[in-house]
Structure 1
């Protein structure tokens, strides 16, 4: 098998050598692992701060028979592709965050043309790499590249298989239908040019198939996939695995020990409630703080015994909405501390780790948690939930029923309904009075160890369900 992967994101690099992220999961680490095992080609977008050069494609040879192809695209095109379509339309759509009284508006045509141009550049590069072998496997990833399957499917030189993985949730047909028809139908028909489409959980897969049934006349949908225009597309559930080896390495690093000591000092002997999130709209931080406020309003004395530590990292591309969200969170934390904190002993802390040791801070916090709250409004999967189950020695995990990870982890977590602040408060208070189940935690760890990159790839190749 020859593996060719496409993703807007890619590892950082320096002097031609890839710098793989120190993360225990997610798209880029998973692709790096697979390419490290199989070799192949990785097509991605050159970041704005990438190395200068006149060539439209920067090619870097990496160890393990891996070639990185970085597409140099016009900055204005990249901006419209990523910001206007990728973030403000598709990212917000799939997380149910569009202001539907105003969005989508009538000014998408120019940005959609840029989106098409970027997808065409990817398809052209992949086509140049194809040899016509039936052993070639093209793996296209995420909403930035929805049109690549269609563009590849029309080329005679493609004999191998094409798979597409959607890392975000997929919204229900009524909400997906807010897209203009020329975007809505194009996305669906393109994806149905792929041989396999993968999602993090059954719920998102069924929502996608529901959209195909609703909006594509003549599309035949069943539990395993869809047939459209004479082509069969299999739909599979393939949640990203947790890289247990990376978790173990991070837990043993000196920087993690430093963070653990710092958090222990800040806790001052109190028990620890932890959350760890990017400051993204769907991570639902304000309702988490509001739920804890409700707990403390009923029992203010709990602030003497508990410390709520919220590890926060900035989004990759902040918008005015995420900046407002950060200010709102900081205001909520300040109010909680004014009402329930004491000098030198805040009731709640927003911890902003430095970039170099962010993962160490998260691992240290989750390792020491007596209780972890993961309450996104909607989330494709949510890696923190898996990290918390693996790392936590004594704490319970409260997990949103709208996180993709909930499907596989349900029997090991306490469910949270993320839009209901009072229900979340009740779940928090109940979990604060109960210990963990050692046998259940051991079973959760076994489940996480049993999932690896090879199994994920097999699912995406249609080898196993």
Structure 2
């Protein structure tokens, strides 16, 4: 088997070696697969990388960084991929005022096309059509690559790690754009998502906007091609998480967090500061819990571990300010100088964010994921592995991972402050917790059964 993969996301490497993996997500999984099978990886060059066309690393892996001028990069990444597409797929647009398809957005669409053409050209150059060659395209940044990939031979899979929105919301795109995106993706043999609900939404869009499409079960037949839809969540690298749990840096974080908790029962969340992570409503729900039961401020602590996006925009800074203002207000009402009721923790400057998350999970009575819409949410899987048997995982029904972990979690309506608040109270209010040993064993067994190889086999069905 030989894998050729394309992604906007990029790896890091040094002295001919790919750098160590984190517990999960697209880049660590691609590293694991390429290290086993060898192959080619086309990706957007890191901003600090000197201009290179190709890099060879151990394991028979060839890296192909794609560099673009700043205007094209801005149009492709900032304007179309992030503001337009991620805003749409996560239901983040305020449709009363956005998006506006004016001259500047249509010019940015030209940049999106240019980047996708460049990826497809490189893919044409690398693909040989050999019987054991698999081609995997990832990320909503590259949804036109299948259209431009004219020399395609052999199995072709597209995997989107984001949600997919329902037809009415997808309809905010102009007709010529939404049709091109669907037609391009249907040039693939397989299109994959993390959750069945995102598959259902994609199929509904095909039915609504492609009158010639035949949708039967999880198969779409369109203009002589057949595309199979699959729901296959990324696996958690359990070995990496277990090494993190026992690492010296994790021990240091455990000691620091223990001092800040002052012996209180802890609830933790860990998020990148993306708008769909729904951090402010989480704080509002905790505040509502303390309003009902102010004595819990003396026995409970809410620790929110946050990191900034790689390219933080003005809206991220406004969002951060909103979160920090809520934390100040809650602490003014329910905290003391020696004991915060809620804490925002920014561990990235120390370079050991994952250790901080692992440490917090091993000492917490609850973990919360209340995202409005999420493709997967890796933190929920880390929590399912590391929380002890008395702890609760509070999980948004709109997180992609919910389908997998629903039997082992407490369902949250991410928009309902009162319901979320009462779930927090149930998880934190009992000093002894609950006996969840059976569920904890089952969820750990589920996570141990997942592998990158099984994921690959599922997205390239025979």
The two structures share one fold, judged by TM-score above 0.5: yes
* Correspondence for 2:5: 5
Please say if residues 134 and 159 of structure 1, whose CA atoms lie closer than 8 Å, have aligned partners that are also in contact.
Answer: no
After TM superposition, the structure 1 = structure 2 runs for residues 1-400 of structure 1, keeping only pairs within 5 Å, are 1-20=1-20, 22-51=21-50, 53=51, 58-105=53-100, 106=102, 107-152=104-149, 154-155=150-151, 158-355=152-349, 356-393=351-388, 394-400=390-396
Query: What is the aligned-residue RMSD (CA, Å)?
Result: 1.1
Q: Distance in 2 between matches of 1:305 and 1:360?
A: 25
* CA distances 1:66-105 after superposition (whole Å, capped 9, x unpaired): 1101112212111110000011100110110012122221
Task: Say which SS state the counterpart of residue 28 (structure 2) adopts.
Answer: helix
Displacement after TM superposition at 1:15 (Å)? 4.7
Q: Distance in 1 between matches of 2:190 and 2:264?
A: 49
Displacement after TM superposition at 1:222 (Å)? 1.8
Structure 2: any 5+ residue segments left out of the alignment? Answer: none
Q: Distance in 1 between matches of 2:75 and 2:338?
A: 46
The more displaced of 100-109 and 206-215 is 100-109
Task: Say which SS state the counterpart of residue 294 (structure 1) adopts.
Answer: helix
* CA distances 1:253-295 after superposition (whole Å, capped 9, x unpaired): 1100000000001111111011111111000010000001001
Q: Distance in 2 between matches of 1:242 and 1:15?
A: 27
* CA distances 1:377-417 after superposition (whole Å, capped 9, x unpaired): 00001011110010011310000000000001100000000
The more displaced of 68-77 and 299-308 is 68-77
Task: Say which SS state the counterpart of residue 59 (structure 2) adopts.
Answer: coil
Q: Distance in 1 between matches of 2:247 and 2:217?
A: 45
The more displaced of 427-436 and 165-174 is 427-436
Displacement after TM superposition at 1:47 (Å)? 2.0
Displacement after TM superposition at 1:134 (Å)? 3.0
**What is the aligned length?**
455
Superposition TM-score, scaled by structure 2 size: 0.97
* CA distances 1:217-253 after superposition (whole Å, capped 9, x unpaired): 2101122220101100010111000000100111111
Q: Distance in 1 between matches of 2:248 and 2:316?
A: 32
* CA distances 1:163-218 after superposition (whole Å, capped 9, x unpaired): 00010000000000001112111100000000000100100001001001100121
Displacement after TM superposition at 1:24 (Å)? 0.6
Matched, 1:443 2:442: yes
* Correspondence for 2:401: 405
Q: Distance in 1 between matches of 2:321 and 2:129?
A: 53
* CA distances 1:25-67 after superposition (whole Å, capped 9, x unpaired): 000001001101110000011122111x4xxx52111111111
Q: Distance in 2 between matches of 1:160 and 1:187?
A: 21
* Correspondence for 1:430: 426
Please say if residues 136 and 157 of structure 2, whose CA atoms lie closer than 8 Å, have aligned partners that are also in contact.
Answer: yes
Please say if residues 48 and 75 of structure 1, whose CA atoms lie closer than 8 Å, have aligned partners that are also in contact.
Answer: no
Q: Distance in 2 between matches of 1:258 and 1:337?
A: 25
Please say if residues 11 and 18 of structure 1, whose CA atoms lie closer than 8 Å, have aligned partners that are also in contact.
Answer: yes
Q: Distance in 2 between matches of 1:445 and 1:100?
A: 41
Superposition TM-score, scaled by structure 1 size: 0.96
Task: Say which SS state the counterpart of residue 4 (structure 1) adopts.
Answer: strand
